[in-house]
Amino acid sequence: MSNLNRRQVLKAIGLTAGAAVLSETGAVAAPIAPKAGSGFVYSLNMSTIRGHNLGFVKELEVAAKAGFTSVEIWIDTLQTYLQSGGSLTEAKKIIKGLGLKVEDAIGFAPWLADDETIRKKALEQLQREMEMLAQIGCYRIAAPPAGVTKGPVLDLDVVTERYLTILKMGEQTGVMPQLEMWGGSQNLKHISQVLYVATQCGKANARILLDVFHIFKGQSAVESLNYVGHRALDIFHVNDYPAGISPELISEPDRIYCGDGIAPIKQILQIVKNPERPLVISFEVFNKSYYAQDALTVAKTALKKMKEVAS
């Protein structure tokens, strides 16, 4: 952030303090359907049972049987399903038949890459993915800093320009990119950085995707969440982490069930809870010990523990 001047920082803070991401035009992302008496919508990120190698349909079935009504899918799993003879029409029917809503899709197109050739191919990939997701009723896609996790730190105004490009693609396809923070990345590792980009682009559709694990990994202060306006968040990834591992050494497989570790989850959820509409909280872990257990048991445990920390 050293390249930012005082005026730019004040501009970003001023926008977020009003709890809104402003825009003069632009389509608004699909609203979250309210649920009476609940401040959250509980979602299962398929990373949680990804290691079971169940396949697209079985993953959905497990989530529904466990009691979830919302999920985050992985694009490569959907593509494998299509390559094996499935269709987008069929996938949409299966999703609807199970009573599920696909809140978001996880993909890794390197849309932020500095290399123009790589970035052009990434945008073409992202366009295809957005169009595919629209056909199954998924109206969000994660936009992490894939491809720029190492190497030089990008100027945040350059990141803003590139995010604006994919936001426009989202407006055209109806599938809006969620700017994802990765704590272990050289770029977009802090809450302040994704927040700057979301506010600086000046679009009402801008959204950021945060994660309990990545807040710790990137060493952002939990209190920074007080500056994140509710309109900037549609989805929040939840999980926990054990004591005794530093942010520098902790890694993805160390994520555990909510409430089983030392993460200040209750504090985080109280800050980000939206009084006007439920926030989607999606359980995302990559725990190898969970992959060795029954998938349905894992999904049921995840939902139970999410509800306990959110109560």
43-310: CATH class: alpha beta
DSSP codes of every residue in 233-279: -SEEEE-B--TT--TTT--GGG-B-TTSSS--HHHHHHHH--SSSPE
Per-residue pLDDT, averaged over 84-106, amounts to: 98
CA distance 91 to 136: 7
Instruction: Pick 10 or 40 by higher pLDDT.
Output: 40
Question: Which tens digit of pLDDT belongs to each residue from 64-92?
Answer: 999 999 999 999 999 999 999 999 999 99
Q: Is the model more confident about 31 or about 101?
A: 101
Q: Is the pLDDT of residue 6 over 90?
A: no
Residue 13 has pLDDT above 80, yes or no: no
Distance CA 170, CA 149 (A): 23
pLDDT score for 11: 41
**Per-residue pLDDT tens digits for 258-306:** 999 999 999 999 999 999 999 999 999 999 999 999 999 999 999 999 9
Q: Distance between CA 23 and CA 204 in Å, rounded?
A: 5
What beta strand segments (E) does 111-150 contain?
140-143
Asked if residue 41 lies in contact with residue 35, where contact means CB atoms within 8 angstroms, the answer is yes
By the 8 A CB rule, do 100 and 71 touch? yes
- pLDDT confidence of residue 36: 39
Over residues 194-214, the mean pLDDT reads 97
Residue 244 confidence (pLDDT) above 50: yes
CA distances from 257 to 58, 168, 253, 285, 305 (A): 22, 36, 12, 8, 7
pLDDT band at 14 (very low <50, low <70, confident <90, very high): very low
Tens digit of each residue's pLDDT (9 = 90 or more) over 120-157: 999 999 999 999 999 999 999 999 999 999 989 999 99
The answer to whether residue 3 scores a pLDDT higher than 60 is no
**% the chain with pLDDT above 90:** 87
Amino acid at 145: P
Specify whether the backbone of 219 is left (phi greater than 0), alpha (psi in -120 to 50) or beta.
left
pTM > 0.85? yes
Dist CA 30 CA 101 (whole Å): 12
DSSP symbol at 47: G
The predicted model gives 58-65 an average pLDDT of 98
Q: Looking at beta carbons, which pairs linking 35-41 to residues 24 or more positions away fall under 8 Å?
A: 35/278, 38/278, 39/273, 39/274, 39/275, 39/278, 39/279, 39/310, 40/269, 40/273, 40/278, 40/279, 40/280, 40/281, 40/310, 41/69, 41/70, 41/103, 41/278, 41/279, 41/280, 41/281
pLDDT at res. 48: 98
User: Which two three-digit tokens encode residue 110?
Assistant: 């390197």
In angstroms, the Cα distances linking 45 to 113, 121, 246, 263, 283 are 26, 27, 25, 19, 6
pLDDT band at 38 (very low <50, low <70, confident <90, very high): low
Task: Say yes or no to pLDDT of 197 above 70.
Answer: yes
Q: Where are the domains of the chain?
A: 43-310
- Asked whether the beta carbons of 197 and 207 are under 8 A apart, the reply is no
Tell me the average pLDDT across 115-124. 98
**SS3 for 44?**
strand
Query: Cα(103)–Cα(38) distance, rounded to whole angstroms?
Result: 17
- pLDDT confidence of residue 5: 41
Q: Are 68 and 297 within 8 A, CB to CB?
A: no
> What is residue 183's predicted lDDT score, i.e. its pLDDT?
98
